[in-house]
Amino acid sequence: MTGLDFKNNVVLVTGASGGIGQEIVAKFANAGARVVAVDLQPPAQLPDKCTFCEADVSDFDQVESRIGRILAAEKRIDCLINNAGIARDATVWRMTESDWDAVLAVNLKGAFNFIHHLAPHFRDMNRGKIVNISSINGLRGKFGLANYAASKAGLIGLTKTIAKELGRHQVNVNAVAPGYVLTALTESLPEKIIEQATSETVFGRLALPEDVANAVLFLCSDLAKHITGEVIKVDGGQYI
C-alpha cells in the first residue's frame, strides 16, 4: 500500500517478544524497516534486519544506556513504539502496593523513560513518530483493573502532552487503544471471559494482533502525517 514504506527507517518496539509486539515487529520488517526489538527476553523468532536488545523498560538509567548503544549502532531511530505492558489484576481493596507500583512502572514510566531519553534525538532530527499502546480500559475503566486502567489512561495524557511538546519538531505522537486482543496469552483465559468480550464487539470477533499492528503502521506512515495527539481504538466496537 502506498505510504506504508519504511525502507531506511529504524523502528524501536518495546515488549517486542509478546503477542502484539511480535506482530508489530514483523509488519515493520515486511515494510522494509530495520527493527530494534526491546524486551526482557528474546522473541521466539526475529525477522531479517532486526536486532534484539534486552532491557527493562521501567529502569530509567538502563533505558538511557540502551538508547545510547542503539543510536551508536543504528545512527537513528525514526519510530518509537511503546508497547511493553503487564497486568496485576485485583479489586482495589485487594490490590497490593507492589501490584500498583509494578504496573505503573512498566506501562507508564516505561513509556516516559523511552520518550524522555529519545526526545533530544527526535528534536535534532526534526522528525519522528511515537505510538503508545494504551487500552480501551484506559478510556472506560474496568472492574479489577485499577492499576492497569490508570496506567493506560496515563499513557493517553502522556501522548497528548508530548504531541504538544514535540509538535514544533515535526514529531507525531499518538496512541492505539486496543480492546481485547487474541494472543497466545489471552486465548488461554476461561471461555466465559472471551465470550463476554466477543459479545461486546459489534463485529462478533475479537481483534487479532495484526489489527493492532496495522493501526500502528498507519500512524507511523506518511498517510497519517497530519494526525497527532490522537487515540485510535482498535476494538471492533467493543467500547462505543
Tell me how crowded residue 118 is: count the other CB atoms within 10 A of its CB: 22
Active-site entry in 148, 149, 150, 172: 148
Question: Active site includes 148?
Answer: yes
For 32, list phi and psi in degrees, rounded to 5: 100, 0
Helix (H, G, I), strand (E, B) or coil at 88: coil
101, burial (CB in 10 Å: exposed 0-12, middle 13-18, buried 19+): middle
**Contacts of ligand NAD in 85-114 (CB under 6 A):** 85-86, 106
What is the smallest separation between the CB atom of 5 and ligand NAD, expressed in angstroms?
25
Candidates 25-33, 52-60, 72-80, 216-224; binding stretch for ligand NAD (CB under 6 A)? 52-60
Residue with smaller CB distance to ligand NAD, 39 or 78 = 39
Tell me how crowded residue 56 is: count the other CB atoms within 10 A of its CB: 16
Contacts of 129 by beta carbon, 8 Å cutoff, 6+ apart: 78, 79, 80, 171, 172, 173, 219, 220
DSSP 223: G
What is the smallest separation between the CB atom of 97 and ligand NAD, expressed in angstroms?
18
147 binds ligand NAD (CB under 6 A): no
135 binds ligand NAD (CB under 6 A): yes
With beta carbons less than 8 A apart as the criterion, state whether 107 and 155 touch: yes
58 binds ligand NAD (CB under 6 A): yes
Answer for which of 4, 19, 51, 104 binds ligand NAD (CB under 6 A) is 19
Mark 168-187 with x for binding to ligand NAD (rule: CB under 6 A) and - for no binding: ----------x-xx-x-xx-
Answer for which of 6, 12, 13, 15 binds ligand NAD (CB under 6 A) is 15
Residue with smaller CB distance to ligand NAD, 33 or 177 = 177
Give the β-pairing of 171-178 and 231-234: parallel
Answer for which of 51, 52, 56, 200 binds ligand NAD (CB under 6 A) is 56
238 binds ligand NAD (CB under 6 A): no
37 binds ligand NAD (CB under 6 A): no
Cα 154 to Cα 5: distance, rounded to the nearest angstrom: 31
What is the smallest separation between the CB atom of 240 and ligand NAD, expressed in angstroms?
16
Cα 182 to Cα 187: distance, rounded to the nearest angstrom: 6
Helix, strand, coil shares of the chain as percentages rounded to 5? Answer: 45, 20, 35
Report, as residue numbers or ranges, the catalytic residues. 148
In the complex, which residues of this chain contact ligand NAD (CB under 6 A)? 14-15, 17-21, 39-41, 56-58, 83-86, 106, 133, 135, 178, 180-181, 183, 185-186
